A and B are shown apart, each in its own frame.
Chain A
Amino acid sequence: MIAIIRQVLISGRIFQLIFMVVTIITIFWYIEAIKRGKVVTLRSIPALDAIDEATGRCAEMGRPVHFTPGYTQGGLYNADMGPQVMAGLVILQKVASSAAKRGVSIIVSLNQPEAVPIAEETVRVAYANEGAVSPPKAVRFISTEQYAYVAGVLSMYLEERPAANVLMGFFWSESLQFAEGSNYIGAMTIGGTASASQMAFFAASCDYFLFGEELFAARAYIEKAPDLLGSIVGQDILRILILAITVLTWLAGNFKYTQLVSFLKM
């Protein structure tokens, strides 16, 4: 039996496959459970609650709100950056509808050509839901190249002076350039990323920030759809599993029980 498994599966990934199957089942199970009426309450994510405050501020000052999902090297197919940008674009829905409700105009700066239709559609629908037309030049593709994109956004800051900047997605060095640039023009800044090297800068420089998995959980937090809530609950169960495995490997290492690690590495 084990010999057959070893022949079919790539070595080192056997336990990972088991883990993946467990993950899929868990998430599926909890999505169904929520649909059947299980109630969950998510802990608060202040950065997402602050979006309404941000657009409110824009309405008071009569200035636009600015949103950007950050940078991807190559395109949206980039494995490290693309998913975070997509998670960021989900938050655009919240920003756009909140802006539309208060009659604030929105500016979306983009680095990915493929994201242009997504953003345009999102903005159009959000304004249409409020019976308004989306502001002209709302969605702006700037450049695929990192610093041309940075220059474009900073230049826009100086010209249109948005009263709030929502930076959610993947960032490299531009995280700090956007966040501090926002501070120079006296705007409110909400930042969010799961980019390991940049969370620290958002933590230091933004008025509100979220980081790590909170970015991926944002959609569940905003929409509260059963599919998404179920997935979050499932992921919490996985976290317990991961904690358990971590502690077990740690104990196994301490008590020189090597079989466990070789099983996990199978």
Chain B
Amino acid sequence: MSNILRRELPMTLAAAIVLILFTDYYFKNDILRTTANTLVNWAVVASATAAGVGVLNVLIRTTRNIQKRESYWYLDIWMLIMMVVVAVGGVIGAYGTSILYTWVMQNIYLAIDATIFSMVVFDITAAFYRTFRVRSIDAAILVISAFFVMIYNVPLMGGLFPDSIAIGSWVVNIASVGPTRALTAVTAIGLIGFAIRILLMKDKSIFGGVD
């Protein structure tokens, strides 16, 4: 019994989903269409329900940190306070409209979120300085194309020296298009192969892949 639950049920269910969603994609049929849409909605609901596993994982970890007084344990308490504030603020009223929630999200969450994203600037320039050197033929090609594209991208250049952006424009519109599409195509093949392995019940990685 447990073996069926362990392997056969998940793999059969997955194969059935592949079959339904694939046939829906090719055939005109309203019942298929509704079933497919329902399946997608179900995945959203199931995933939302399961999200608590993640929250519990964090809670267990932080409680242990606080109990053992590990470094910065007091900040973990602060984290739990913020969690409760936003969770309560998000639920009261219509979801996500209470003043408490919007104030915290606008002034605290947005500020940190945007700042963490903007940290990419420091990373991208550091990586740029560290790695953009003509160490090999590969690197040389990478550096040279990046160089022309950057010139092409300076807002000032197009206005002042229209000729300076010609090579960059050629790299963007001609030379890099072929490989871009090649990558798109092969990634698609990998993905389709993945789906077909599930359909043929040959891939157990959909539930972790360990027995």
Chain A residues packing against B (C-beta within 8 Å): 7-10, 13, 16-17, 20, 23-24, 27-28, 31, 74-77, 83, 86-87, 89-90, 93, 110, 112-114, 116-119, 121-122, 125, 137, 139-142, 144-145, 147-148, 150-151, 159, 173, 176-177, 179-181, 183, 194, 196, 199, 201, 203-205, 211-213, 215-217, 219, 227-228, 231-232, 234-235, 238-239, 242
Q: State the majority secondary structure of interface residues on A.
A: helix
Complex interface bits, B166-210 against A, C-beta within 8 A gives 1, otherwise 0? 000000000000001001111101111110110110110111111
Residue contact B196 to A142, C-beta cutoff 8 Å: no
A-B contact pairs, 18 of them (CB 8 A): A7-B28, A27-B197, A31-B202, A75-B44, A89-B205, A113-B52, A116-B54, A116-B57, A147-B112, A177-B120, A196-B187, A201-B124, A213-B189, A216-B194, A219-B209, A231-B197, A235-B190, A239-B186
Residues of A within 8 A of B53 (CB): 113-114, 116-117, 141
Residue contact A142 to B208, C-beta cutoff 8 Å: no
How distant is the Cα of A10 from the Cα of B26 in the complex, in angstroms?
6
Q: State the majority secondary structure of interface residues on B.
A: helix
A105 to chain B, nearest CB (A): 15
| Smallest Cβ-Cβ distance to A181: which chain B residue | B123
| A28-B200, A177-B120, A216-B194 known, 5 other contacts, Cβ within 8 Å | A23-B193, A93-B210, A113-B53, A145-B113, A176-B124
A159-B71 contact in complex given A10-B26, A10-B28, C-beta closer than 8 Å: yes
B12 to chain A, nearest CB (A): 16
Interface stretch among B91-99, B127-135, B157-165? B127-135
Q: By CB atoms of chain A within 10 A, which of B50, B142, B184 has the most?
A: B50
Q: What's the count of A-B pairs with C-beta under 8 Å? A: 184
Residue contact B208 to A118, C-beta cutoff 8 Å: yes
Chain B residues packing against A (C-beta within 8 Å): 22, 25-28, 40, 43-44, 47-48, 50-55, 57-58, 61, 64, 71, 112-113, 116-117, 119-120, 123-124, 126-128, 130-132, 142, 180, 183-187, 189-194, 196-197, 199-200, 202-203, 205-210
Residues of A within 8 A of B189 (CB): 213, 235, 238-239, 242
B149 to chain A, nearest CB (A): 11
Residues of A within 8 A of B200 (CB): 24, 27-28, 31
A215 to chain B, nearest CB (A): 7
B29 to chain A, nearest CB (A): 8
A231-B202 contact in complex given A151-B116, A196-B184, C-beta closer than 8 Å: yes
| Smallest Cβ-Cβ distance to B192: which chain A residue | A23
Residue contact B51 to A113, C-beta cutoff 8 Å: yes
Residues of A within 8 A of B51 (CB): 75, 113-114, 144
Residues of A within 8 A of B130 (CB): 183
How distant is the Cα of A41 from the Cα of B128 in the complex, in angstroms?
37
Residues of A within 8 A of B116 (CB): 147, 150-151
| Smallest Cβ-Cβ distance to B24: which chain A residue | A10
Residue contact B190 to A194, C-beta cutoff 8 Å: yes
Q: By CB atoms of chain A within 10 A, which of B55, B71, B120, B184 has the most?
A: B120
Residues of A within 8 A of B127 (CB): 176, 179-180, 183, 201, 204-205
Residues of A within 8 A of B196 (CB): 23-24, 27, 231
Residue contact B113 to A147, C-beta cutoff 8 Å: yes
